[in-house]
């Protein structure tokens, strides 16, 4: 462990899938990056004492607590890491900021624009007191996507014309996969749209440097009832033996077109029913002088088309984003050895800790995440209105 560095004492609320990923990141970042602060896994917060203690033991936390309200007021905690379902983000984040704690909040920021606006306002007020915050859109920290943003910023793609973005999972394809909090609008805010659509909205806006200015959308819930009794992680599992089924109150899939403020047009798709696609985040961005293409299921590669080369030698190049001078990768393994899903969370910690030490605004900020929340709301409004939907008359 590195000595003589100011500690960053973390209190994390929640310990399911995201809690495990964040814990890994807090443990690992100081071992591979020379951080200005030394993260300490101080307190894991969970309502169930026994389960939280087992999780703390497994994930490397020093102690546990059952009430986040007590932890945000401790003077031996510096940052609150929120890894809970979206219905608790606003209450915890605003209280923590007002208590003077930095905040890392999982995505999406909130379950509504109203909540997100309150969170962004609290974050701006807290920043005036040197209390900073970040929203956990961790896919930005995938080296290949960071490289894509660098290429856009360097002008290598020219004027951006098209954004093609998909986030494809299939863990709900089986109609007997049981209900969990992710299928409950009260807990999750929305389904595929907010859970995974938010990621591609954030990534597309961040890479292009343009914001979505308007959408036309449709959303679908293919399976409207499921067995009760799913597990907390919410990615599958088996229902209880009762045979009882309950309502799905969120979308299974969303698709929308978008206009960007820079003039580009976009096509977005987020679904949990793309049978065979496990965690396929696919982005293709076409510009006037170049294109990039990415698939998270091949996450160490960025495809790049350089429009400036002559037609005899042109074509998409597969860039192995593992060289020492690629984003983040020089801190890990020699070229060609590759990184995984968890590295994005570690890079997220690196960016956050560096910003906190500098006193600079971490990115994405709560205001950045509010913009994503506004796109989510626009998609839901458009899908509900179906105002510009033109039915096509059947021929038979
Ligand atoms: C479930 O769809 C999920 O766990 C998302 O909530 C995460 O944000 C994504 O990284 C993996 O899939």
How many domains is the chain built from?
2
CATH code for the domain in which residue 180 is found: 3.30.360.10
CATH number for 126: 3.40.50.720
Cα–Cα dist 258/265, whole Å: 6
193 and 61 share one domain? no
- Asked if 24 and 101 sit in the same domain, the reply is yes
281 CA distance to ligand 1 middle (Å): 11
State residue 270's pLDDT score: 98
Domain ends where: 94, 113, 139? Answer: 139
| Same domain? 249 vs 150 | yes
The burial of 221, by beta-carbon neighbours within 10 Å (0-12 exposed, 13-18 middle, 19 or more buried), is given as middle
47 Cα: distance to centroid of ligand 1 (angstroms): 22
Same domain, 228 and 316: yes
Q: Are strands 38-45 and 63-65 parallel, antiparallel or unpaired?
A: parallel
Residue 353 lies in a domain: no
CA–chain centroid gap for 322, Å, is 22
Shared domain for 121 and 194, answered yes or no, is no
pLDDT at 243: 78
Query: From the CB of 17, is ligand 1 less than 6 Å away?
Result: yes
To test the ligand 1 pocket, which listed residue (14, 85, 195, 234) has its Cβ within 8 A of the most ligand atoms? 195
The pLDDT assigned to 340 comes to 98
Q: Are residues 132 and 187 in the same domain?
A: no
What's the number of CA atoms in the CB half-sphere (13 Å) around residue 312?
0
23 found inside a domain: yes
251 and 283 housed in the same domain: yes
* Residues 168, 299 within the same domain: yes
pTM for the predicted model, two decimal places: 0.95
Ordered mean pLDDT values, 10 residues apiece, the chain (396 residues):
84 97 98 98 97 98 98 98 98 98 98 98 98 98 98 98 98 95 97 98 98 96 91 60 88 98 96 97 98 97 94 92 98 97 98 98 98 97 79 80
Whether residue 122 is found in the same domain as residue 156:
no
Of all protein residues, the one whose alpha carbon is nearest to atom 9 of ligand 1 is 196
Residue 289 domain-assigned? yes
* Whether residue 305 sits in one domain with residue 162: yes
The verdict on the CB of residue 106 being under 6 Å from ligand 1 is no
**Cα 213 to middle of ligand 1, angstroms:** 25
Cβ–ligand 1 contact at 196 (below 6 Å): yes
Is 2 domain-assigned? no
> Distances from the Cα of 85 to the Cαs of 17, 263, 295, 322, in angstroms?
11, 35, 27, 34
The verdict on residue 78 lying in a domain is: yes
> Whole domain around residue 60: which residue ranges?
7-139
Report if residue 241 sits inside a domain.
yes
Residue 335 and residue 333: Cα distance in Å, rounded?
Answer: 7
């Amino acid at each position: 462990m590195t000595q003589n560095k100011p500690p960053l004492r973390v209190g994390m609320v929640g310990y399911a899938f995201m809690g495990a990923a964040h814990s890994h990141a807090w443990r690992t970042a100081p071992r591979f990056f020379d951080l200005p602060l030394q993260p300490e896994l101080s307190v894991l917060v969970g309502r169930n004492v026994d389960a939280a203690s087992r999780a703390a033991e497994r994930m490397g936390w020093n102690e546990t607590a059952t009430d986040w309200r007590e932890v945000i007021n401790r003077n031996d905690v510096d940052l609150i890491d929120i890894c809970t379902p979206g219905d608790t983000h606003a209450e915890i984040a605003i209280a923590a900021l007002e208590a003077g704690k930095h905040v890392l909040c999982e995505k999406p920021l909130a379950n509504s624009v109203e909540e997100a606006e309150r969170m962004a306002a609290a974050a701006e007020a807290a920043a005036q007191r040197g209390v900073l915050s970040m929203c956990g859109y961790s896919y930005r920290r995938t080296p290949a996507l960071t490289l894509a943003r660098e290429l856009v910023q360097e002008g290598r793609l020219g004027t951006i014309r098209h954004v093609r973005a998909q986030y494809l999972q299939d863990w709900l394809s089986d109609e007997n996969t049981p209900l969990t909090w992710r299928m409950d609008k009260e807990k999750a805010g929305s389904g595929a749209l907010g859970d995974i659509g938010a990621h591609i909205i954030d990534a597309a806006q961040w890479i292009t440097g343009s914001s979505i200015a308007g959408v036309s959308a449709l959303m679908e819930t293919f399976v409207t009832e499921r067995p009760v009794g799913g597990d907390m992680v919410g990615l599958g599992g088996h229902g209880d033996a009762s045979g009882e089924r309950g309502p799905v109150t969120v979308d299974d899939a969303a698709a929308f077109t978008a206009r960007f403020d820079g003039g580009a047009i976009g096509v977005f798709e987020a679904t949990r029913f793309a049978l065979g696609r496990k965690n396929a985040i696919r982005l293709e961005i076409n510009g006037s002088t170049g294109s990039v293409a990415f698939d998270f299921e091949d996450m160490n590669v960025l495809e790049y088309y350089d429009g400036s080369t002559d037609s005899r030698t042109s074509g998409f190049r597969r860039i192995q984003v593992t060289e020492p001078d690629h984003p983040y990768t020089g801190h890990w393994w020699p070229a060609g050895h590759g990184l995984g899903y968890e590295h994005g969370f570690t890079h997220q910690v690196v960016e956050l800790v560096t910003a906190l030490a500098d006193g600079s605004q971490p990115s994405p900020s709560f205001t950045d995440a509010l913009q994503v929340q506004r796109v989510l709301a626009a998609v839901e409004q458009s899908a509900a209105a179906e105002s510009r939907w033109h039915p096509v008359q059947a021929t038979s």
